[in-house]
Structure 1
Amino acid sequence: MNSQHGEQSTSRRDALGWWRATPLYLRIIGAVALGVAVGVTLGEQAAALEIPAKLVLRLLGALAPPLILLAIMQALMRAHLGGRQALRLVTLLATNTLVAIGIGLLVANVLQPGSWSHATPAHESAKAAAAANPLAQFLDNVPKSIAGPFSDNGAVMGVIFIAVAMGVALRSLRHHEVRTVEDLVHVALESLITILHWIIDLVPLAVFGVVASIIGVKGFRDFLALGGFVVAVLAALTLQAGYYLTRVKLESWAPPLYVLRGVRDALVMAFSTGSSTATMPVTYARLRDNVGLREQSASMGALVGANFNNDGTALYEAMSALFVAQLLGMQLTLSQQFIVVVTSIVASVGAAGIPEAGLVTMTMVFKAVALPTDYIAMLLTVDWFLDRCRTAINVMGDVTVSCLLDGKTRERADTQPP
């Protein structure tokens, strides 16, 4: 009996290990393919499969505010800033982010990829199926925010969910010493990131559910518009890259093509891993060894600035909000687009340390202008590719800031770049 139980536990661990060892983008591609097949097969009966997507999005929405709060606090506490260079760094980061969001909104307003197709709100299509589904009743007990259950005396199940999740997540940190405020913030952030990893494991399930439900109920119409969205985002990211190279040419001693050749390893790593945090050491090393920047310039831009610089992410989230609004036939006013700008900036600051940061912060941007977060799950079908593209732009932004901080004179005036 015990041997059978042991074999079952081992097989479950092996299955979970295989699932986590498979890259997220491959799991998402498989989920899309399976969702298409199930949606075509089941037709309108596939509407109930939208509920797993809603569950994942609700969990992401609940985690977003505390994650962003703790990430910004940790980034500000750990950043070594001081003097005129610090002010220059902050100015460059703010300018680059504002330009990125401006480019994103401009391209989205000009191309209007969401208007290439029209969609009805996703929650209307599945309302009838969800009403009788026990999973929908379970979804109602999942807290929409971490603080929500504590303000509602009747939300006992929500408190239990949070207690169990935090208790399990903190098991690996229970022996971590807490001597300073920074230690306390670190433990809190690490516990939330542990929970976030669990939710990310469920993202392919959400993609499967939303693809199957949309195709089963409405066919392929909504997904055709995603092609226009991908084209628009790539066009905007290309314009942002052009802006970076122009600034390097005008305000730095290093020629743009020379810089690109020097940091190409970092850009390729950023695209392949989808993580600007993992790429930081490579970016710094290439800026020092290949490009020849001063140590202070390379470290300020590639190490310190990278914790705040997420231009590609901010651009993408602003465009996503406009795309979904266009898809639903909603017109965001200038004031609402300004709210998108402000929220995208706040959400992008410090998000470099959060895995799949775009998934977390996008819920905040959507809620700020009252857009349905249901459509974030649809964007996940192409997010795995666009995430790599915008991460490469994030790293290119770090490189640009380092070059601009280095100025127009090289450290060794007796040598010149080839």
Structure 2
Amino acid sequence: MSQPESNHPPETTRPWWKRIPLTLQIVIALVLAVILGIALGAGNPNPSNAALITNLAIPAELILKALRALATPLILVAVLHTFMTTNIPGTAGRRLAVLLLTNTTVAIVIGLLVANILRPGTWGYLAKPQTTITGNSLDPWGLVKDAVPEAILKPLVDNNVIQLIVIALCFGIVLRGLKSEQIAQGKNTYQPVEDAIAVLFEAVIRILNWVIALVPFAVFGIVAKTVAEKGFAPFQSLAAFIVAVLVALILQAAYYLSRVKIGSWVSPIKFLAGGTDAFLTAFSTSSSTVAMPITFEVLQTKIGLRESSASLGALVGANFNNDGTALYEAMSALYISQVIGQHLNLGQQLIVVLTSIFASVGAAGIPNAGLVTMTLVFTSVGLPTEYIALLVTVDWFLDRCRTAINVMGDMTVSALLDGKKPRSSEYPTDLQ
């Protein structure tokens, strides 16, 4: 997941446990959980340990409840903040919006196709949870009717994702329009609203950081409980899930290269070679925001794009574009449905597509927001969110891979915006 740089205190003033990277904390929690799970029986637990094993899941339950509570306000405030603070020119903005929506939709479709074909969730099996998924048939008119909320705040209370999408988009577009009108008239009465949204956004992010800091405890509890009760069989399908996600990300990269070849003057080889620094930075930091300055630089100096195209794709587009994350969240929903033996019909998979698109837009640039937005995708089709804690055990690696794809998507948008004609008259030596 793309992550902005944060204003942490100097390393020397922070407690030692806060100086350990979250990824390393999760790995340590995973190792300790496996050791404890083996000690408690590894699939054949002693009945005297039943209460202890059951209680191990309590931290994960509490943390996931907190994430679910944060999901809807986070997405709503994040979308409003993005609309209010991002300046996009009219014609270029419309083309940028089409490119971003197309790329994200293709990413999700690729993810769902790979998950449906490879069916990684069938390589292992977990016991069905008490909650079940209702198998309603596809009802387009029903989706339209359900999209209109009865009250403005009701979707926040009910965690109704589709209605939240409608409210956030409507308010975001209107507020952006009002701001543009007032700027043209020399007024700034919009400023208090923008400041209030910025403060709310920062407040939600701080609370999210508190919850994210507790994620290793959730991983420890759920993994230790699973190993103790069922052994290692439930984790066999995680290997298949990793393979499936990597296959889907490779296909998405191939789609990007084909778009670059057909829709721009840049050759795929030049695109890959010139973007190497940006890809490696994104993978090593798991942050497209940290990679953003490097992405912007290589698009101009190594690939040779115009500054306007580079800025729209790498700087503005990065606030909306999270193709790799959208792909991952859609695949996660389908994977978990396969693992627990449930079935997502066509209508539910369509809801997954819509929710993943919106969640990826709202989560762009927010640190570790994938956990929160994934709860939105899961709850939109009735999937139990407790299995998200199992996905966290492999997320530290897949996060880096999908972040590299996010950056590649930003660069692809820039190349397509640059068109079929190079800036050879300006920088002839760069385009040899």
Aligned to 1:21: 19
Aligned to 2:127: 120
Matched, 1:65 2:72: yes
Aligned counterparts, 1:66-85, within 5 A: 66-85=73-92
Q: How big is the shift at 1:227?
A: 0.3
Aligned counterparts, 1:90-109, within 5 A: 90-109=97-116
Mapped partners of 2:301, 2:15: distance in 1: 38
Mapped partners of 1:47, 1:284: distance in 2: 50
Q: How big is the shift at 1:19?
A: 2.1
2:73 alignment partner AA: P
Aligned to 2:30: 32
Is the Cα contact below 8 Å between 1:47 and 1:216 reproduced in 2? no
Change in 2 beyond 3 A, CA 1:54/1:285: same
Q: Structure 2: where are the runs of 5+ without partners? A: 1-10, 132-153, 159-189
Q: How big is the shift at 1:408?
A: 0.8
Mapped partners of 1:83, 1:337: distance in 2: 33
Is the Cα contact below 8 Å between 1:71 and 1:353 reproduced in 2? no
Cα deviation digits, residues 152-192 of structure 1 (max 9, x gap): xxxxxxxxxxxxxxxxxxxxxxxxxx952111111111111
Change in 2 beyond 3 A, CA 1:375/1:31: same
Aligned to 1:392: 404
Mapped partners of 1:15, 1:330: distance in 2: 49
Aligned counterparts, 1:143-292, within 5 A: 179-292=191-304
Matched, 1:369 2:381: yes
2:86 alignment partner AA: A
Q: How big is the shift at 1:17?
A: 2.5
Q: How big is the shift at 1:24?
A: 1.4
Q: Which has the higher contact order (CA 8 A, sep 6+)?
A: 2
Is the Cα contact below 8 Å between 2:72 and 2:376 reproduced in 1? yes
Mapped partners of 1:341, 1:264: distance in 2: 30
Secondary structure class of the residue paired with 1:350 = helix
Secondary structure class of the residue paired with 1:371 = coil
Aligned to 1:128: none
Q: Percent identity between the aligned chains?
A: 56
Cα deviation digits, residues 286-344 of structure 1 (max 9, x gap): 11122111111001000111111000000000000000000011111000000000010
Mapped partners of 1:362, 1:320: distance in 2: 8
Q: How many residues align?
A: 358
Matched, 1:53 2:65: no
Cα deviation digits, residues 238-275 of structure 1 (max 9, x gap): 00000001111111111112122222111111111111
Mapped partners of 1:187, 1:310: distance in 2: 24
What TM-score does the superposition give when structure 1 sets the normalisation length?
0.82
Mapped partners of 1:249, 1:32: distance in 2: 43
What TM-score does the superposition give when structure 2 sets the normalisation length?
0.79
1:118 alignment partner AA: Y
Q: Which has the higher helix share?
A: 1
Mapped partners of 2:209, 2:31: distance in 1: 23
Mapped partners of 1:236, 1:179: distance in 2: 43
Is the Cα contact below 8 Å between 2:81 and 2:197 reproduced in 1? yes
Runs of 4+ in 1 over 3 A off after TM superposition: 13-16, 121-124, 145-149, 413-416
Q: Structure 1: where are the runs of 5+ without partners? A: 1-12, 125-144, 150-177
Aligned to 2:39: 41
Mapped partners of 2:110, 2:272: distance in 1: 22
Q: How big is the shift at 1:15?
A: 10
